[in-house]
Amino acid sequence: MLLQNNIDIQTANLTLKNERPAVNTDAIGIFDSGVGGLSIAQCIEKQLPNENLLYVADTLHAPYGEKSPQFIQQRVNEIAQWFIERNVKAIVVACNTATVNAIDQLRQTISMPVIGVEPAIKPAANLSKNKKIAILVTKATAENQRFLALVGQYSYNTQVTIQPCPGLVELIEQDKKNTAECKSLLNAYLLPLLAKGVDTIVLGCTHYPLVSDLIKDICGNDVVIMETAQPVTEQLQRQLKLHQLINSNSRLGTKAFYSSMHCSKQQALFSHIWQRPLQLKHYP
């Protein structure tokens, strides 16, 4: 069911309400369970510099990868409601786990463009020379039927290994990426894939590009690592064009960052990843 302006539709957990028709100067809402979605937001900022961005990290409830589909859907609905109240013109679900678990129900309840993160399985299967690829994901993604169906589409000619990586998101969120613990966790997940002869690895969680340098160190130059920020940005751009919502303002867009676990440590982590000092505000 499509949401018309000023009509409320009761979903399982809350009412999503579109307040007014979007205008092109409205912000784009981007969210993730934490800092992972910044890997997508950075690409959006680079390619669509005039757009105003509103980023929400639901850090208090991370990792989504260890939560139930119902819990994830509830979080997604709540954040979408918050975005709608702030008149965003589009929502980017910058999280693979939230995309596979909640994007279909979200698209049924709101009428604005909702862009999700689809793992690059198709390009990886096409690129792989020996037709052995792997995809690194969270536990909740690995168990999701929508995701398994996507993997199934390529299994006829490509051996696809699904590798859940529990613990990795937590280490990234705690800014422990450069620790022996993080390296040994990555070794534990990646070395068996290399032993299998995998030549292409898809990063199926938006946190993982934040450790792609470590992944490349372990895998070496012969293994291709595939990220999804670029195709997500292109899809966002296509959707904005289609709805005539590209911001025609010539000034640089504003960027605002919110976290449900607001503290100085979080602000330092955000600033470090964003490569500029930023002010982190409290969500909601």
Q: In this chain, which stretch among 59-67, 186-194, 224-232, 245-253 interacts with ligand DGL, using CB under 6 A?
A: 59-67
Build a one-symbol-per-residue string for 168-207: x at contacts with ligand DGL by CB under 6 A, - elsewhere: -x-----------------------------------xxx
Q: Which is catalytic among the residues 43, 165, 182, 205?
A: 205
Closest by alpha carbon to 95, among 122, 146, 68, 58? 58
Build a one-symbol-per-residue string for 205-244: x at contacts with ligand DGL by CB under 6 A, - elsewhere: xxx-------------------------------------
CB of 189 to ligand DGL, least distance (A): 14
Residue type, 85: E
Please pick, from the candidates 87, 96, 247, 260, the single residue that binds ligand DGL as defined by CB under 6 A: 96
Q: Shortest Cβ contact with ligand DGL: which residue?
A: 65
For ligand DGL, give the closer residue by CB, 11 or 101.
101
Tell me whether strands 8-10 and 15-17 are parallel, antiparallel or unpaired: antiparallel
CB of 34 to ligand DGL, least distance (A): 6
| Residues in binding contact with ligand DGL, number by CB under 6 A | 16
182 as an active site residue: the answer is no
For ligand DGL, give the closer residue by CB, 65 or 113.
65
For ligand DGL, give the closer residue by CB, 3 or 170.
170
What six digits make up the tokens of 140? 């909740």
Based on the shown chain and the rule CB under 6 A, indicate whether residue 128 belongs to the binding site for ligand DGL: no
Sign of CA dihedral 141, 143, 144, 147: positive
Build a one-symbol-per-residue string for 13-32: x at contacts with ligand DGL by CB under 6 A, - elsewhere: -------------------x
| Spatial separation of the C-alpha atoms in residues 176 and 168, rounded to whole Å | 9
95 as an active site residue: the answer is yes
Determine contact, residues 53/256, Cβ cutoff 8 Å.
Answer: yes
Q: How many CB atoms lie within 10 A of CB 170?
A: 17
Sign of CA dihedral 229, 234, 239, 240: positive
| Spatial separation of the C-alpha atoms in residues 41 and 65, rounded to whole Å | 20
Please pick, from the candidates 73, 77, 109, 138, the single residue that binds ligand DGL as defined by CB under 6 A: 138
Determine contact, residues 117/95, Cβ cutoff 8 Å.
Answer: yes
| Spatial separation of the C-alpha atoms in residues 46 and 53, rounded to whole Å | 12
Collapse the DSSP code of 278 into the 3-class scheme (helix H, G, I; strand E, B; otherwise coil) and give the result: coil
Collapse the DSSP code of 12 into the 3-class scheme (helix H, G, I; strand E, B; otherwise coil) and give the result: coil
Please pick, from the candidates 97, 200, 228, 266, the single residue that binds ligand DGL as defined by CB under 6 A: 97
| Spatial separation of the C-alpha atoms in residues 255 and 151, rounded to whole Å | 35
Which residues are known to be catalytic? Answer: 95, 205
Binding site for ligand DGL (CB under 6 A): 32-33, 36, 62-65, 95-97, 138, 141, 169, 205-207
